[in-house]
């Protein structure tokens, strides 16, 4: 869970009154002076302040607030057009329950979900000829987004689709209404808003170098193989089938409409590719697909329009969903933090290492690095989940060593380590038991601690 190292970054910012520009948490970063930009610094600061003020209750509150805002934004997003109540409610429910589990964690991408909805809504308004004053607030949202989560690049990609689609329509000879045509007043307004949004992303402590982080993630595909949330959907979950089903439905219904639009096609194809590449990005698929489905009209649906919903439903529906989740889900209970920590992380082993004060450096698994950054800050970690910092080659070499593959003892971080925190029953753990240089000093059902003789 990335929450651990995000908390530590927030604490570091409070202590130093600055944001990290070089990695202060890993051996690799400290020994090489490796650049590392805390690109989610504002999220981390907010998260840590919640924890510092109310403890784990603050994290629960943080989750609940984000969950409410996402549900509210999704309700507004799916009821913007005068479709029937049945159609709008169906889109809301199918989409919401496709990403519901994502809202049960305090992750920075929840803001990305809301900003993605806002971006698409502004583009749809302008393509329909609607000009509203609050469209000009979108660039300010991008200032927040660029300091909260790196997926602001997805928003810029959406804006690029909105700006370039009329060019493709003209080239293909596809007729569109005047506001959606290249060079129209609405198109010029969208172009200016897009440029202001791009400029807004530079208002951050790292300025233009924030795009170096984008490049790091784009040029290191290895994380998509070993980080669970970045792996492709395996279609063992209902959410995966719902997402693909909605994408297929959108393509089918769009094909039955008169007059195709490059904008709508790209709004389905691009986000669908991202959503099928990584589980975490299924929200992007849903925003694009449901945006297209919301625009479609069906004469066979004769129920009252969703625009006639009472105002109180705009707050009551998302509030009810969030309260239901908060009261019924163990994920939002404070006690669950303790239980989950004990079940998933080496709590007792960490307490033993701290009590004994073994000299470092420490060697740890990729999965536990973020936890150790928070719980054992005095020991810079050998590896953690910040994949853009460590890079594919270092992470793959570490995972091979943990798998006990030939040459495992030659890994520099392992060879120089004085204390090793090992997952119980891991191949490397079994090898260490047989190696004369390493001595077992602690073990429980979850982990083992070895110390290395000089």
Q: Kindly give the residue spans of alpha helices, DSSP state H, lying in 219-368.
A: 223-226, 238-255, 262-277, 282-295, 313-328, 334-344, 347-356
pLDDT tier at 361 (50, 70, 90 boundaries)? very high
Lowest mean pLDDT among 44-48, 104-108, 181-185, 206-210: 104-108
Residue 263 has pLDDT above 90, yes or no: yes
4/223: higher pLDDT: 4
Count the neighbouring beta carbons within 10 Å of the beta carbon of residue 131.
13
Backbone angles phi, psi at 181, to 5 degrees: -90, 155
Backbone angles phi, psi at 142, to 5 degrees: -70, -30
Instruction: Name the range with the highest mean pLDDT among 156-170, 230-244, 341-355.
Output: 156-170
DSSP codes, 18-76? S--SB--SBHHHHHHT-B---TTHHHHHHHHHHHHHHTHHHHHHHHHHHHHHHHHHHHH
Rg (CA), the chain: 25
Residue 421 has pLDDT above 80, yes or no: yes
How far is Cα 157 from Cα 160, in angstroms, rounded to an integer?
5
What pTM value is reported for the model? Answer: 0.90
Q: What is the 3-state secondary structure (H, E, C) of 236-278?
A: CCHHHHHHHHHHHHHHHHHHCCCCCCHHHHHHHHHHHHHHHHC
pLDDT tier at 336 (50, 70, 90 boundaries)? low
Q: In this predicted structure, what is the pLDDT of residue 271? A: 93
- The average pLDDT across 51-63 equals 85
131 and 189 in contact (C-beta within 8 Å)?
A: yes
Backbone angles phi, psi at 315, to 5 degrees: -105, -35
Task: Take residue 296 and report the two structure tokens written for it.
Answer: 């479609």
Q: What is the residue-averaged pLDDT of the chain? A: 87
Q: In this predicted structure, what is the pLDDT of residue 323? A: 56
């Amino acid at each position: 869970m990335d929450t651990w190292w995000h908390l530590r970054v927030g604490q570091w910012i409070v202590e130093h009154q600055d944001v990290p520009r070089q990695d202060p948490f890993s051996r690799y970063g400290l020994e090489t002076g490796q650049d590392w930009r805390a690109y989610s610094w504002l999220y981390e600061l907010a998260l840590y302040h919640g924890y510092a003020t109310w403890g784990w209750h603050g994290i629960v509150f943080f989750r609940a607030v984000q969950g409410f805002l996402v549900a509210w934004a999704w309700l507004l997003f799916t009821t913007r057009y005068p479709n029937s109540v049945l159609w709008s409610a169906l889109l809301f429910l199918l989409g919401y329950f496709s990403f519901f589990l994502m809202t049960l964690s305090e992750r920075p991408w929840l803001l990305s979900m809301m900003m993605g909805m806002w971006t698409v809504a502004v583009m749809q308004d302008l393509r329909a000829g609607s000009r509203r004053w609050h469209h000009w607030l979108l660039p300010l949202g991008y200032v927040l987004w660029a300091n909260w989560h790196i997926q602001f690049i997805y928003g810029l990609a959406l804006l690029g689709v909105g700006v370039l689609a009329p060019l493709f329509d003209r080239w293909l000879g596809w007729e569109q209404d005047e506001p959606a045509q290249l060079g129209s007043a609405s198109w010029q307004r969208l172009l200016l808003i897009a440029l202001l949004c791009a400029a807004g992303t530079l208002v951050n402590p790292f300025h233009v170098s924030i795009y170096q982080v984008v490049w790091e993630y784009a040029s290191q595909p290895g994380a998509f193989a070993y980080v669970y949330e970045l792996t492709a959907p395996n279609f063992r979950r209902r959410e995966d089938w719902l997402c693909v089903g909605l994408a297929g439905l959108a393509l089918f219904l769009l094909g039955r409409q008169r007059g195709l639009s490059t904008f709508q096609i790209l709004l389905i194809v691009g986000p669908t590719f991202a959503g099928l590449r990584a589980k975490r990005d299924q929200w992007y698929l849903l925003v694009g697909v449901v945006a297209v489905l919301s625009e479609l009209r069906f004469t066979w649906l004769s129920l009252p329009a969703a625009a006639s919903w009472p105002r109180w439903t705009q707050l009551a529906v998302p509030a009810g969903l969030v309260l239901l989740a908060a009261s019924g889900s163990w994920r939002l209970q404070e006690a669950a933090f303790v239980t989950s920590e004990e079940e998933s992380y080496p709590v007792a082993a960490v307490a033993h290492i701290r009590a004994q004060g073994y000299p470092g450096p420490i060697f740890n698994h990729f999965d536990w690095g973020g936890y150790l950054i928070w719980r054992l800050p005095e020991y810079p970690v050998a590896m953690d989940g910040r994949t853009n910092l460590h890079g594919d080659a270092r992470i793959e070499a570490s995972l091979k060593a943990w798998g006990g593959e030939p040459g495992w003892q030659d890994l520099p971080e392992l060879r120089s380590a004085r204390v090793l925190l090992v997952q119980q029953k891991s191949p490397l753990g079994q090898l260490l038991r047989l190696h004369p240089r390493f001595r077992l000093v602690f073990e429980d059902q979850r982990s083992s601690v070895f110390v290395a003789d000089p």
